[in-house]
Amino acid sequence: MRDPLEALPSDAMAEARRLLTDVFGFHDFRGHQAAIIKHVVEGGDALVLMPTGGGKSLCYQIPALCRRGMGVVISPLIALMRDQVEALRQLGVRAAALNSTLESAEASRLIGDMRAGNIDLLYVAPERLLLEGTLALLAQCPLSLFAIDEAHCVSQWGHDFRPEYLKLAVLHERFPDVPRIALTATADTPTRNEIVRQLKLEQGRIFLTSFDRPNIRYHITPKAKPRDQLLRFIQDDHAGEAGIVYCLSRARVEETAAWLSQKGITALPYHAGLAADVRARNQDRFLKDDGVVMVATIAFGMGIDKPDVRFVAHMDLPKSVESYYQETGRAGRDGLPSEALLLFGIEDAAKLHSMIESGDGGERRKQLEHGKLDALVGFCASSRCRRQMLLEYFEESRPEPCGNCDTCMHPVASVDGTVAAQKALSCVIRTGQRFGAAHLTDVLVGANTERIRQFQHDALPTYGVGKEFSRDQWRDIFRQLVAHGLLVTDMEGHGGLRLGAEALCRPVLRGERSVLLRESRQSETTRAMRAEVGKKRPAARAAREELVDEGDERLFQALRELRLALAKEQNVPPYVIFHDTTLLAMARSRPQTLQDLARTPGVGASKLARYGDAFLRVILGV
């Protein structure tokens, strides 16, 4: 196979490989890394789409170190720059962040180092970068490249839009000879096109790698008692492991974090309404302590580098498939087995539809957001392989089911749901197409509620005609009818359900078209989960048992204790010293000399000199 770096000048090719091994501690490039590095080192612009944990950082870090001058990394969140910079300094890279947290003297020293060419990589937020003073300062410095991280923020059709990113085309205008590399973990075709247009990357290359995250197990289940479902998921499958729980509202975040804490889970809240020092303190604990669960709105997570997040749980529906993919991708960055749980309720879809309609976007944007949300609802309600559907959304095919999602592991049969669909559609019509699934379910099962009596819905022909199904089963049926397009949320009213397109509904009501529904997952999922209680092991622990024997597990724990002690001494997250995968490799191979230790993936020259003797003593002593 032809080496993608062989076209580089011999010194640049050798330098790229030397940096990979000596600085970063790896011996082979992964996927498209080599081709991307070659392209950028030669001065080309690029848009890189690579899943979280796929090695995006190396795609700009190595070219920045290969080329003459300072690499400038535009990162959206100041709070995360500290750990990114510290991780590079641990590798011996001269990295710094230019932001408002610097004292005057620190800022003056940094500016002097920048002008003198003593900084390899500079991290800066887009707001700071766009200041005329910053642009003028950069013009006085030799520059190797610009890296625009989280590039999907540039797209108004994306899921994390940041208006400051729209102005980053100024880099092309002010520094036309400096290569630019834009990077993101996820972007569908409209978002990719918007990134290219807004950043003026038309002459650059697009590197699109697989969106597949095979180490993540996807699980989507209807909401029943969501807090109990979440607690069971954490206690049975992820006890003592780090995770993120996403909620739609700030109030839900605080309620859920408090409730989990009462149940013995170390859980902290994070949302934009908390005081800045509280957010910073909670984030710091999440990054530095073991086994912390962060309960958050989507304000948390972008750019998080913590590699050992073992699960991501959604208590409410995300805004789109892109959001779901991006947020679940924060689990398992180290490649070890991790899980994503989504609790799905049709009421969530109605709430999000209402939020879209009440937003400030124009009609075109609202139509696009409704389409994205409808695609997500269809994804949740489907009985197909989750991974196949995710990849198809990003225009990537997978011929075979993955075997590592709920629909593959616990297949659900399809049944003829025509009669149930007719009852549901008829009930929607007879109640005036303005009520939500909860009230419609009460009518169908013949409940005696004040609201039913108020509107005299107990006199309707559809009252009580659906007693063969439970409330949970009817909720699942309504979810699937929305996914089929037979019902839609009324955005002009109060989020009630109304009939979909007449061309779809009329044949069903007349019995001219059948409707296939998957059997209610609620009872099957509950049975499956109960059957596995006591058999499952936390995901990371199970992975360790596959990689090392019982004796090596003791060594692994001893290495983790040493890492934690070193991290506390330096007040840094443990993973900036070594990832779990590196410690697992040490425990498995048991190096006997520093030369042996240097061959461990993730052990570069700087870390070997800094920590080698200490870790070797533990290995030889256990």
Which tens digit of pLDDT belongs to each residue from 431-442?
999 898 889 999
pLDDT over 90 (residue 566): yes
Tell me the pLDDT band of 544, cut-offs 50, 70 and 90: low
Distance CA 543, CA 483 (A): 36
Tokens read off for 547: 């990689």
List the Cα angle 241/265/281 in 5-degree steps: 80
Structure tokens at 587: 């425990």
Count the residues in the chain: 622
Do residues 489 and 503 share a domain? yes
Hunting for tokens 């500079």 — which residue is that?
122
Nearest-Å Rg of the Cα atoms of the chain is: 27
Residue 527 included in any domain = no
- Among the residue ranges 287-296, 307-316, 342-351, the one predicted with the least confidence is 342-351
Angle, CA of 534, 537 and 539, to the nearest 5°: 145
Classified as helix, coil or strand, 98 is: strand
Residue 535 lies in a domain: no
Q: What does the block give as tokens for 138? A: 């950069």
Cα(535)–Cα(105) distance, integer angstroms: 57
CATH of the domain at 481: 1.10.10.10
Residues 227, 187, single domain; the answer is no
Whether the predicted pLDDT of 345 surpasses 90: no
The pLDDT-based confidence of 163 (bands split at 50, 70, 90) is confident
Whether 355 and 393 share a structural domain: yes
For the chain, give the mean pLDDT: 87
- In 3-state terms, the chain is what percent helix, strand and coil (to 5)? 50, 15, 35
Is residue 509, in this structure, part of any structural domain at all? yes
Residue 5 DSSP class: T
For residue 9, pLDDT over 70 is answered with no
In this structure, the answer to whether residues 127 and 270 fall within a common structural domain is no
Do 139 and 171 touch, CB atoms closer than 8 A?
Answer: no
**Whether the model pTM is above 0.75:** yes
**Which of these three, 178, 208, 238, is where a domain ends?**
208
The share of the chain scoring above pLDDT 90, in percent, equals: 58
Residue 530 lies in a domain: no
Looking at the structure, tell me whether residues 106 and 236 fall in a common domain: no
Report, as an integer, the average pLDDT of 262-288: 92
Domain that holds residue 315: 216-409
Q: Do 401 and 439 have their domain in common?
A: no
Q: Are residues 507 and 583 both part of a single domain? A: no
Give the mean model confidence (pLDDT) for residues 56-77. Answer: 93
Highest mean predicted confidence (pLDDT) among 57-66, 183-192, 302-311: 57-66
| 454 and 400 inside one domain | no
Q: Is the pLDDT of residue 524 over 50?
A: no
Mean pLDDT computed over 20-41? 92
**Cα–Cα distance measured from residue 204 to residue 40, given in angstroms and rounded to the nearest whole number:** 10
Average pLDDT over residues 121-146: 95
Based on the fold, state whether residues 172 and 299 are members of the same structural domain. Answer: no
Nearest to 296 by CA among 253, 347, 359, 236: 253
Tell me, what CATH number does 606's domain have?
Answer: 1.10.150.80
Backbone angles phi and psi of 410, in degrees to 5: -135, 70
pLDDT, tens digit (0-9, with 9 covering 90-100), for 270-282:
998 999 899 989 9
Task: Report DSSP state, residue 69.
Answer: S
Question: Can you tell me the mean pLDDT for 576-598?
Answer: 94
Residue 347 has pLDDT above 80, yes or no: no
Under a CB-based contact definition with an 8 Å cutoff, are residues 573 and 242 in contact?
no
Which residue would you say has higher pLDDT here, 156 or 474?
474
Site of tokens 């913590």: 306
532: enclosing H helix or E strand: helix 521-532
pLDDT > 70? residue 533: no
- Among 297, 217, 317, which residue's Cα sits nearest to residue 253? 297
Would residue 398 count as lying in a domain?
A: yes
Mean pLDDT score, 476-492: 77
Do 331 and 263 lie in a common domain?
Answer: yes
Asked whether residue 332 is assigned to any structural domain, the reply reads yes
Residues facing 71 on adjacent strands? 121, 145
Nearest in space to 152 (alpha carbons), one of 56, 271, 62 = 56
Here the tokens at position 222 are 């209807």
Out of 115-124, 157-166, 502-511, pick the least confident. Answer: 157-166
The pairing of beta strand 414-416 with beta strand 516-518: antiparallel
Under 8 Å between Cβ of 458 and 427: no
The answer to whether residue 598 sits within a structural domain is: yes
- How many domains are contained in the chain? 4
Domain identity same for 345 and 451: no
Q: Is residue 60 part of a domain?
A: yes
Q: Which one of 360, 394, 409 terminates a domain?
A: 409
Share of the chain above pLDDT 70, in %: 90
Q: Same domain, yes or no, for 419 and 403?
A: no
Return the CATH number at 14.
Answer: 3.40.50.300
Q: Is the pLDDT of residue 10 over 70?
A: no
Separation between Cα atoms, residue 451 and residue 437, nearest integer Å: 14
Closest alpha carbon to 88 in 114, 62, 110: 62
Q: Are strands 309-314 and 487-489 parallel, antiparallel or unpaired?
A: unpaired
